[in-house]
């Protein structure tokens, strides 16, 4: 039976701060492509890009139910870090961030939907792992959130550490690294637990709130989003201090279409480079006549970088003008959750977000 821990002193327990752990890894090299000769974007040697352009819409898989990452607002517009990741790619391809169709996926169908071509890309709180790249025919083009798996409990339980969860029932989603990490953690700690496996995020929330499980485990960012979504009842829930895994979350594409892989990867890098250069959605026009070589290449004035990707010269300008740099995207979606940027800062500020030179 779950061991409830009595509070040693009166008063509510202090909410544990979110700590994320990860490491910076290198993306797979893209196959060399010859630059198109004409000034307009050439027909790219990419089945995915050709299909997207013919369709007139980017099909992007998201969770659709996770505040801060992908969830509809009061007007039904999809909002969040992952949703904006999709929008940046649409802006790069079409010059129009609105040309994206969000497709809600579950932890169990997300990979098959991408593999089968139902999606062009996946941006769904999905962890980059060797198995997913090596066995599922996927490639991770970017990391938009360095995360780690944690636990949340009801404050009333008196539990303040994951090591006090011996015998607990724990809600977890199937088909995730979360499920595997949970089993590994309890095995190494020599503890027993009962998994309560539930497929959808909404059903997990309901089960945890109703008391069907003593704790809920997933990426710490998602736990913070859940807690924030409880409004005035947020103080009834406590994030435990333990982080038990590395969870680099990012955008995945089908393996083999390297031209589209390049577009998705360098679109993310463009949001980082813009932040480094101080270019925002509000001031980007003031950089049009800059004599800084890095800015000139970013703005599409020199270098033919858009041509190399099969995009318009001002593709990066469209991304920032319409969606924003990475800092703006973070402030809009993640800061309201109370999550510190931490290791998701630019490398110049001690974080892991680092972009190669755009040249």
Q: Which residue has the higher pLDDT, 54 or 15?
A: 54
Record the pTM: 0.80
Chain segment 250-279, per-residue pLDDT in tens = 999 999 999 999 999 999 999 999 999 999
- The answer to whether 84 touches 333, Cβ cutoff 8 Å, is yes
In CATH, what is the architecture of 148-247? 3-Layer(aba) Sandwich (3.40)
Domain borders along the chain are 148-247
What is the four-CA torsion angle of 112, 116, 121, 124, rounded to 10 degrees? -20
d(CA 6, CA 13): 11
Considering only CA atoms, which of 142, 103, 354 is closest in space to residue 252? Answer: 142
Which residues on adjacent β-strands are paired with residue 117?
Answer: none
Task: Give the pLDDT band (50/70/90) at residue 234.
Answer: very high
Tens of pLDDT, residues 70-84: 999 999 999 999 999
């Amino acid at each position: 039976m779950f061991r409830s821990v009595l509070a040693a002193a009166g008063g509510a327990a202090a909410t544990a701060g979110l700590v994320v752990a990860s490491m910076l890894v290198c993306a797979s090299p893209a196959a060399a492509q010859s630059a198109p000769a004409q000034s307009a974007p050439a027909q790219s040697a990419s089945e995915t890009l050709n299909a997207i352009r013919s369709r007139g819409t980017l099909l992007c898989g998201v969770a659709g139910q996770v505040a801060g990452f992908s969830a509809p607002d009061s007007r039904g517009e999809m909002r969040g870090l992952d949703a904006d990741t999709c929008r940046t790619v649409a802006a790069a391809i079409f010059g129009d961030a609105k040309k994206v169709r969000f497709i809600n996926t579950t932890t169990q169908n997300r990979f098959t939907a991408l593999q089968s071509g139902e999606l062009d890309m996946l941006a769904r709180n999905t962890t980059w792992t060797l198995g997913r790249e090596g066995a599922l025919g996927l490639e991770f083009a970017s990391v938009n959130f360095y995360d780690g798996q944690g636990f949340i409990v009801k404050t009333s339980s008196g539990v303040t550490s994951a090591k006090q969860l011996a015998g607990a029932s724990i809600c977890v989603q199937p088909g995730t690294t979360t499920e595997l990490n949970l089993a590994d953690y309890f095995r190494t700690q020599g503890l027993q637990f009962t998994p309560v496996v539930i497929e959808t995020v909404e059903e997990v929330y309901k089960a945890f709130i109703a008391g069907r499980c003593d704790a809920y485990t997933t990426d710490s960012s998602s736990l913070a989003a859940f807690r924030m979504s409880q409004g005035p009842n947020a103080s009834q829930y406590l994030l435990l201090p333990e982080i038990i895994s590395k969870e680099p979350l990012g955008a995945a594409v089908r393996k083999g279409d390297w031209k589209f892989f390049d577009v998705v990867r360098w679109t993310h890098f463009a949001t980082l480079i813009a932040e480094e250069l101080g270019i925002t959605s509000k001031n980007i026009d003031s950089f049009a006549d800059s004599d800084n070589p890095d800015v000139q290449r970013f703005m599409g004035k020199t270098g033919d970088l858009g041509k190399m990707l099969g995009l318009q010269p001002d593709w990066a300008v469209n991304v920032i003008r319409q969606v924003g740099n990475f800092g703006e995207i973070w402030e809009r979606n993640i800061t309201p959750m109370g999550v510190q940027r931490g290791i998701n800062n630019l490398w110049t500020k001690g974080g892991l977000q680092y972009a190669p030179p755009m040249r």
